[in-house]
Amino acid sequence: MNAVHVTHTAPFFARSANMGKTYSISDYELLTTILSALKFRELNGNIGLYTDSVGYKYYEQQKMLKIWNSGINVDVLNNINDNVDFEIFWAAGKIYALKHQQAPCIIMDTDFIVWINISEQITNKKDVICIHREELNPNVYLPKELLKVSPNYNFNPNFDWSENPCNTAFVYFGNENLKQYFVEEAIKFMKDNLYKPEEFVSQMVFAEQRLLPMCAKNMEVVIKSFVDLNELFIQNSFTHLWGYKRELEADHLVAYNYCSTLVERLISDFDKGYKYLRDIPVIKKYL
Residues 72 and 56: their CA atoms lie apart, in Å, by 8
CB 225 within 8 A of CB 116: no
- Partnered with residue 132 across adjacent β-strands are 167
pLDDT reported for residue 134: 95
Rounded to an integer, the average pLDDT of 221-245 is 88
The H or E element containing residue 113 is strand 112-114
pLDDT reported for residue 231: 80
Characterize 248-281 residue by residue with b for buried, 16 or more Cβ atoms within 10 angstroms of its Cβ, and e for exposed. Answer: beeeeeebeebbeebbeebbeebeeebeebeebe
pLDDT reported for residue 234: 77
Query: Domain extents for the chain?
Result: 2-243
pLDDT reported for residue 98: 98
Rounded to an integer, the average pLDDT of 122-131 is 96
How far is C-alpha 85 from the geometric centre of its chain's CA atoms?
18
Question: Under CATH, what is the fold of the domain 2-243?
Answer: Spore Coat Polysaccharide Biosynthesis Protein SpsA; Chain A (3.90.550)
pLDDT reported for residue 16: 87
Rounded to an integer, the average pLDDT of 156-179 is 97
Q: What is the pLDDT of residues 46-67, one digit of tens each?
A: 999 999 999 999 999 999 999 9
Reported pTM: 0.96
Rounded to an integer, the average pLDDT of 147-154 is 95
Counting beta carbons within 10 angstroms of the beta carbon of residue 246, is it exposed (0 to 12), middle (13 to 18) or buried (19 or more)? exposed
**Residue 206 identity:** F
